[in-house]
Structure 1
Amino acid sequence: MTFEGIKEQFEKYASEGKKMFTTSSFQSHSIVLLHIISRINKDIQVVFINTGYHFPETVEFKDRVSQEFGLEVIDLRSNTPKFMQRGTDGRLLFTSDPDHCCYLNKTQPVDALLMQNDIWINGVRADQSAVRKAMKMEQPAPHGTIRFHPMLDWNAKMIYQYQKEYNLPKHPLENSGYLSIGCEPCTRKVDPEMMEREARWYGMSKTECGLHTDLVK
């Protein structure tokens, strides 16, 4: 979808009285959508899902980007304290049950946020995974909310070209070999033969955190 197409869709939602928000992981490739939003409507709420496990560099990058783009970013946190996020062996869930860890720290908080909004602007791209390739530009989500995927038909080359055109900042860990950056315990550097998202939950049969599997219909 082009910039003009995204702008037109935002204006349509606004004219219908729809309440919009977006979530961002604040990776280099994800700030393209944030920059587009900043050019169209800075009043759209930007949500950073703060799991408490992010790299310090990600938090610093979030602060820098939000200031440069003039966006107000809110932190969304789990209602379940970390001392309760342990398995029967006493270990934190990211070591024993990463799916449940993601549910408590990402999926459950966003599910609650959906109840307060109409449109979830989401930056998934079809070229990122098989799950995302099967998605549509607009899809229903829980609680009567609509997921809008304006970047779905963008690819890595288009992201790079946009970054270059607008001289967008890069996540500080990207030059160290990190391309898909999530929570620190579940992220590793990308090897040359790996797909981008294979660096997440490496060695596990897991490629999504639940946001794009549980919170979509």
Structure 2
Amino acid sequence: MAFDTSEGPANLALSLDAELRHAHPRTILERAYQMFGDELALVSSFGAESVVLLHLASQVSKDIPVLFLDTGHLFGQTLDYRKTLAATLGLTDVRDLRPAYQDIATADPKNNLWQTDTDGCCHIRKVLPLDRALVDFQGWITGRKRFHGGSRLSLPVVEQSDGKVKFNPLANWGKAELDAYIAEHDLPAHPLVAQGFPSIGCWPCTKPVDNPEDVRSGRWAGSQKTECGIHLARAPGAVADVGGDI
């Protein structure tokens, strides 16, 4: 299904957001798939809440490409969970995105960049790999939600991002809706959730939370960092070096 560029991604995102801002997440996913077909991808961390979006998407099409950032620093439990969920939900196209060897050799040869430059570590292990993968798509889906706070408080349901249309089907849902959906469909939980991890990223930068009301407080705890970088706005025309790698 070809992407209609006549309206432009910014205007298209605005019109879709107006149409879908109060819609059920599955309705949003169905509209996204109708618009973009095989030019639509879903980006998932296979983290604490990922099963909800993945299950919803599997009801629309099990063939939607799922992009998974295997940073090389993930918990073993996350890697196991990724395999379990893909099999349980019947996902046919889960793509493991890994950092480019050249980027690691140049920027993180000792595998300890996370200790001195978390932004740089995220850039080579997440931002660059995702940018390279998204070249093949015109629309993509995220699992972000407003109740996570920070820059996500004003999250639209549909937005323009670096010339592509980005869908946030769960933007309107809170923890109660997520928990109810998981219970209704008897979905398997990430094994670290029971150990106090309501948000799960790379093991060096993720801790259990002290305040369960702030689900992302265990990410980069003790620093001002709140996002890995894949959802941060860039200057117009600024694109990561796709010759080298979300």
**TM-score normalised to structure 1 length:** 0.90
2:225 is aligned, of 199, 203, 206, to: 206
Change in Cα spacing, 1:3 to 1:92, as seen in structure 2 (3 Å) is closer
Structure 2 residue 107 is the aligned partner of structure 1 residue 85: yes
Q: Which moved more, 1:72-81 or 1:153-162?
A: 72-81
Partner of 2:39: 19
8 Å contact from structure 1 (residues 53, 184) kept in 2? yes
Note closer, same or farther for the CA distance 1:195–1:44 as it changes in structure 2 (3 Å cut).
same
Once superposed, what is the RMSD of the aligned Cα atoms? 2.1
2: CA distance between counterparts of 1:35 and 1:53? 25
Q: 1:164 aligns with which of 169, 183, 186?
A: 183
Secondary structure at the aligned position of 2:217 is classed as: helix
**1:100-141 CA distance string (max 9 Å, x none):** 100111111111222210111111101112211222111111
| Deviations 1:26-75 (CA, angstroms, capped at 9, x unpaired) | 12311100000111111110011010000000000000000000113110
Judge conservation of contact 1:58–1:171 (CA < 8 Å) in 2.
Answer: yes
Residue 124 of structure 2 is matched in structure 1 by: 104
2:75 is the alignment partner of 1:75: no
- The structural deviation recorded for 1:209 is 0.3
Deviation at 1:197, TM superposition (A): 0.5
- Secondary structure in 2 matching 1:140: strand
Higher RCO (CA-CA < 8 Å; seq separation 6+): 2
Instruction: Count how many residue pairs are aligned between Structure 1 and Structure 2.
Output: 212
Deviation at 1:11, TM superposition (A): 4.2
Counterpart AA for 1:203: G
Of all paired residues, the percent bearing the same amino acid is 33
Secondary structure at the counterpart of residue 196 of structure 1? coil
Quick one: structure 1 residues 8 and 60, their matched pair in 2 at CA, closer, same or farther if it must change by over 3 Å? Answer: closer
For normalisation by structure 2, the TM-score amounts to 0.80
- TM-fit CA distance, 1:84: 3.1
Query: Offset of 1:7 from its aligned partner?
Result: 4.5
Counterpart mapping for 1:131-146 below 5 A: 131-142=151-162, 144-146=163-165
AA aligned opposite 2:229? G
**Deviations, residues 140-197 of structure 1 (Å, cap 9, x unaligned):** 112x211111111111110000000000000111111111110000001111466110
Question: Gaps (5+ residues) in structure 1?
Answer: none
Over 3 Å counting, the alpha-carbon distance change for 1:131 and 1:42 in structure 2 is same
Quick check: 1:18–1:119 contact (8 Å CA) kept in 2? no
- SS state of the match for residue 146, structure 2? coil
Q: Is the contact made by 2:209 and 2:217 (CA closer than 8 Å) also made in structure 1?
A: yes
- Which residue identity lines up with residue 168 of structure 2 in the other structure? H
Gaps of 5+ in 2: 1-22, 237-246
Name the counterpart of 2:203: 184
Q: Distance in 1 between matches of 2:63 and 2:165?
A: 19
